[in-house]
């Protein structure tokens, strides 16, 4: 839904998008492009959370000689920025394949534009591997990383607004005297952080989605700035908030589960290390 609302044509609102997708593509339309993100999410999440936690520990060791010291705001912010930067290297190709698969059957209506040979409304790619290989052959590495600039502008500040609210909100709602946040506190803090992060990242998410969907039938945008200018000139400021409801709503449960799994896994590993090395 998010991709269709941000880069598609003819969807008035979220409900209209849901009904249109279901009517034209049945329930399977909601799962297009799922396999590639599903196959890579474990690696992607482990890299992002691993980079964040290890950078944070390194900064605490560097500044305070104690890697287990509660993090300062500046340390959390810098660790978040590093995690966001690293995430783009892994996430851009995955996002591109997902969006191309989701958008390849969308009708494209544009005057005086020469389309690629494929007919709009019919699939160009047979699956994620074929999509990745086709883009790589036709557009090279630059094609695989199309939209990386917009993704950097989305993820670097986006992860700051992901990890910082989580870190301090989880501390705030943890009762005094508790050694660590409860699972419920982790779940709630993670959900709030996800909703904040995805909600505020929506403008650059729109730009990224449009740049990556752009190559299915034609290349309309020359780059991030050109996409921003064309989108604003043609549709006004409101275009940059397309899909904000979907982003914020999905951000809560997704991030709740992510942070809860991360924190429980850390506790389990620490407990194993303590039992192994008493």
Distance CA 96, CA 234 (A): 24
Distance CA 22, CA 68 (A): 50
DSSP-derived secondary structure letter, 106: S
Average of per-residue pLDDT across 64-85:
84
Distance CA 219, CA 122 (A): 18
Q: How confident is the model at residue 2 (pLDDT cuts 50, 70, 90)?
A: low
Counting Cα atoms < 13 Å in the Cβ hemisphere of 244 gives: 12
| Angle formed at CA 16 by CA 15 and CA 21, multiple of 5 degrees | 100
**Residues 89-99: b if buried by 16+ CB within 10 A, e if exposed:** eebbbbbbbbb
pLDDT digits (tens, 9 = 90+) for 121-158: 456 778 888 889 999 998 899 989 999 999 999 999 99
Q: Which of 254, 128, 108 is closest to 187 using CA atoms?
A: 254
pTM: 0.81
Cβ atoms within 10 Å of 129's Cβ, excluding its own: 12
**Residues 139-176: b if buried by 16+ CB within 10 A, e if exposed:** eeeebebbbbbbbbbbbbbbbbbbbbbbbebbeeebee
pLDDT digits (tens, 9 = 90+) for 204-253: 999 998 898 886 666 788 889 999 999 999 889 998 998 888 888 888 99
Domain ranges of the chain: 33-145, 148-277
Give me the DSSP letters along 45-86: HHHHHHHHHHHHHHHHHHHHS-TTSPPPHHHHHHHHHHHHHH
| Pair of tokens at residue 254 | 């997704």
């Amino acid at each position: 839904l998010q991709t269709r609302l941000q880069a598609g044509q003819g969807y008035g609102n979220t409900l209209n998008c849901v009904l249109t997708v279901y009517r034209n593509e049945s329930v399977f339309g909601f799962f297009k492009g799922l396999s590639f993100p599903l196959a890579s999410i474990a690696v992607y999440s482990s890299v992002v959370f691993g980079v964040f936690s290890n950078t944070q520990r390194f900064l605490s060791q560097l500044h305070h000689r104690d890697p287990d010291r509660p993090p300062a705001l500046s340390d959390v912010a810098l660790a978040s920025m590093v995690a966001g930067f690293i995430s783009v290297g892994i996430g851009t190709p995955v996002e591109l394949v997902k969006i191309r698969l989701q958008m390849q059957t969308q009708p494209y209506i544009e005057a005086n534009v020469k389309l690629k040979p494929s007919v709009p409304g019919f699939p160009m790619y047979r699956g994620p591997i074929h999509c990745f290989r086709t883009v790589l052959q036709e557009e090279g590495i630059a094609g695989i990383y199309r939209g990386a600039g917009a993704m950097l502008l989305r993820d670097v500040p986006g992860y700051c607004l992901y990890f910082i609210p989580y870190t301090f909100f989880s501390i705030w709602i943890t009762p005094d005297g508790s050694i660590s946040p409860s699972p419920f506190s982790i779940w709630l803090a993670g959900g709030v952080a996800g909703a904040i992060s995805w909600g505020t990242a929506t403008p650059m998410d729109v730009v990224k989605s449009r740049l990556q969907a752009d190559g299915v039938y034609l290349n309309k945008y020359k780059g991030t700035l050109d996409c921003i200018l064309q989108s604003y000139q043609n549709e006004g400021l409101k275009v940059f908030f397309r899909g904000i409801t979907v982003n914020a709503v999905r951000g809560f449960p997704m991030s709740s589960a992510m942070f809860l799994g991360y924190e429980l896994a850390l506790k389990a590993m620490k407990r194993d290390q303590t039992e192994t090395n008493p």
